[in-house]
Amino acid sequence: MEYSSLPKDPMVLLSFINTKLRDDYPSLDELCSSLCVDADGVKKKLATIDYSYDEKKNRFV
């Protein structure tokens, strides 16, 4: 999966990323590496809806 196929809507992206983190990946870095996406880009997109990555919880909150 390439970045272009990630959801464009921030709320849908939030749901997608948090589900993947919960079910498949132990960290955001591993998820982004596997999907060939930029972690900073994901963080910036989700920051537009006031969410940030919590490493301890391994999810955006």
Q: How confident is the model at residue 5 (pLDDT cuts 50, 70, 90)?
A: confident
Q: Is the pLDDT of residue 49 over 70?
A: yes
Identify the pLDDT of residue 1: 43
- What's the predicted TM-score (pTM) here? 0.89
| Model confidence pLDDT, tens digit, residues 8-43 | 999 999 999 999 999 999 999 999 999 999 999 999
- What phi and psi values does residue 51 have, to the nearest 5 degrees? -115, 140
How confident is the model at residue 4, as a pLDDT? 55
